[in-house]
Structure 1
Amino acid sequence: MKIKVCIHAVIGMSLLCSAGVASAQAYPNKPITLIAPFAPGASADGVARLIARQLSQSLGQTVIVENRAGAGGTTGLIALAHAKPDGYTLGIGATGAISVNRHLPDAAPLNPDTQLSAVSKVADIPLVLVASGKSGLKSLKEVITASHQPGGLSYGTSGQFTSHHLAGELFASQAKADMVSVAYRGSAPALTDVMAGQIPLAIVDLTSAIGAIKAGKVTALAVTGARRALDAPTVPTIAESGFPEYSAGGWLGVFAPAKTPDDIVNKVSSQLKTILADPKVKSEFSTLAVEPAYLGPKEFSAYINEETQKWGGVVKAVGAM
């Protein structure tokens, strides 16, 4: 009897393993929906459409982009969390919706840790600190000195608790600078006021600022990421400018509903790794002023944990918690 039980157990395990291999081989056998929680036309939406087109080719099935904007990128991810975990609904998540919004008192009902599966990080979104020509500010050292004047130094952002705003708060904390954020509805209006001299500084995405920087309408003081931006290689990082522990910026990743089978997650992630290494894809990313940045499921999950802890501390220091 014991021998029969053992034989049955071995057969059962073999069937389970075969089923797992079969599911990976069979996937996908119908169209996939990629939820983009952004408005059509945004650079992040452009990334979603580029990823969808490339995945369609590599997986041999149509990948359809479905825009579901709202709640700072959270609305679409809530829809993703409630989708069937079979790999046929994926979504794009950004820094705010994944690592920042959960720390806010009026956060939407989404817990990325338990409701989503991280598939791959796909892109970094460079942010840049720019100064008005009328401000006379030419370096971070001058910014810090000017911030110690009565009233501090104001800087524009794309909105309260966006990655732009929190990048500024993190810098102010590390530099012991007195800086006051001014929330705008996006990078474009903040940049407009900097060019007009209405505010001395702004932290904006490089997508919005690169034209004004090249035209000499604003001065790029530093980028906020861990490395120099590909589209602005002469602009130093804040870390290079005397704050080695500093790193901030936006990022985008692909997610699936929680409990999506590992073999499916790994298959999609493997395809994305190949896609992001393609020179033609890198060139297309550059036109969107974002940079390909691949991390696999485990590495991406660890990265999200680090980002969540970091931004939670900044949000708390700002006083939102």
Structure 2
Amino acid sequence: MKTTGELRSSRRRFLRTGAAWGMSAGLAGLGLPARALPVSAASWPDKPIRIVVPYAAGQGADLLARLIAQELGKTLTQPIIIENRAGAGGNIGTANAARSNADGYTFLLGTNATNAANEFLYSNLGFDPAADFMGVAMIGLLPMVLCTSAADLPANGIATLIERARAKPRTLNVGLPSTTAQVVFAEFEKSAQAPLFAVKYKASGQALADTMGGQIPLVIDTVTAARPHVLSGKLRALGISSLHASDMLPGVKSIAEQGVTGFDVVAWDALFAPRGTPAAIVARVGELIQRVQQQPATRSRMMDIGVEPLVMGPAQLDSFVQDERTKWGGIINAAGIRIE
């Protein structure tokens, strides 16, 4: 299984050399020669394109989809419509996309939840993430961060936290505002052999507020949500959940870099298409997203949203998602995490 660290290294090599999937074929409409399309896809697109976002408007996935759509729209000749279909942890919108025609006019902004974790959390998804979708392009990674407001826990202090958890098992409460946070917690507790106590929240803001207010000593949340409080000094970041540190939170080491070898549980966003979508269309959209990811202004805006750009084409994305399903499913099943 490739780690996100290995995939990030591949991204860096791509950005240095320009050698990645599809580059030799060029990028249609971006000043480079276009790959010839088969007759069936030659007229594409001749009507508006829909990207289904299985989350509410204004959330991170929605903001990212709108950014990508805006950039793609500069090249393609048709409007790109963002359709928000929130509910059931992303399952409602994802099921809608799965039932759509595989004609190149519907795509899904999928996540680690919809395309890797949810099948192990819910008894009835309404879709099959492996059978119903094909990868188009990875968009980026969303690392989580373990934070504290406790005065006696230092920044980058994973070793100190582990020591205290072992000394007084199940006495240190950790706020968990999402299923992803629960999965990160379960894997950390197991990998670090640190017996902590999980406190589940329904909202990110409340978990962060309770940590800053001293009601609980620890919280696991997205870098996006926690970063303003870390920068203001109200929280101290103990460690990032990705294999290596992230440019989105400079100076904060990863959990793996602080002694929990190999720890790597990261959320992600990617674009998928209903299985059976013409390969030439999938390849073209993937290539265009790849080009968008290299634009400095777009990369900066993605980082502001909390997404670290990661270049990955259709075949590599499919392999990555298969590995992620194994990883997330293993953690969820071992921890007994379920959503009724």
TM-score if structure 2 supplies the norm length? Answer: 0.85
Tell me if the contact between 2:147 and 2:235 (Cα under 8 Å) persists in the aligned partners. yes
Aligned mate of 1:173, from 185, 190, 194: 190
SS of 2:238 mapped into structure 1: strand
The structure 2 residue matched to 1:144, chosen from 162, 167, 192, is: 162
Alignment of 1:6-85 (within 5 A): 21-85=38-102
Contact map agreement 1:146 1:152 (CA 8 A) in 2: no
Distance in 1 (CA, whole Å) between partners of 2:153 and 2:263 is: 24
Q: Trace 1:230-269 onto structure 2 (pairs within 5 A).
A: 230-269=247-286
The CA distance in 1 between the partners of 2:41 and 2:161, in whole Å, is 54
**Partner in structure 2 of residue 287 of structure 1:** 304
Match of 2:142 in 1: 125
Question: Which letter does structure 2 place at the counterpart of 1:23?
Answer: S
Residue 51 of structure 1: how far off its partner (Å): 0.9
Structure 1 unaligned runs (5+)? 1-18
Determine which of 171, 174, 179 is the counterpart of 1:155: 174
Residue type matched to 2:127 in 1?
A: L
CA drift of 1:197 comes to 0.9
1:204 equivalent in structure 2: 221
CA distance 1:150–1:288, shift in 2 (3 Å): closer
Alpha-carbon RMSD across the aligned residues, in angstroms, is 1.6
Q: Which runs of 5+ in 2 are unaligned?
A: 1-35
Q: Aligned in 2, Cα 1:64/1:105: closer, same or farther, shift over 3 Å? A: closer
Partner AA of 1:247 in structure 2 = D
Give the number of the structure whose alpha-carbon radius of gyration is greater: 1
Q: Is the 8 A contact 1:35 1:80 kept in 2?
A: yes
Change in Cα spacing, 1:186 to 1:283, as seen in structure 2 (3 Å) is: same
The 1-side partners of 2:311 and 2:191 are apart by 28
Partner of 2:11: none
Distance change (3 Å), C-alpha of 1:245 and 1:107: farther
What is the distance in 1 between the residues matched to 2:317 and 2:128? 16
Conserved? CA contact 1:101–1:107, under 8 Å: no
Query: Cα distance 1:155–1:277, how it changes in 2: closer, same or farther (>3 A)?
Result: same
C-alpha displacement of 1:20: 5.8
* Alignment partners' CA distance in 1, 2:332 and 2:72: 36
**TM-score, length-normalised on structure 1?**
0.90
Cα distance, 1:235–1:320 mapped onto 2, change above 3 Å: closer
Structure 1 counterpart of 2:21: none
What's the offset of the Cα at 1:28?
0.9
Matched length: 301
For residue 105 of structure 1, report the CA deviation from its aligned partner.
4.7
Following TM superposition, by how much is the alpha carbon of 1:106 offset from its aligned partner in structure 2, in angstroms?
2.5
User: Residue 92 in 1 paired to residue 109 in 2?
Assistant: yes
Are the counterparts in 1 of residues 169 and 196 from structure 2 also a CA contact under 8 Å? no
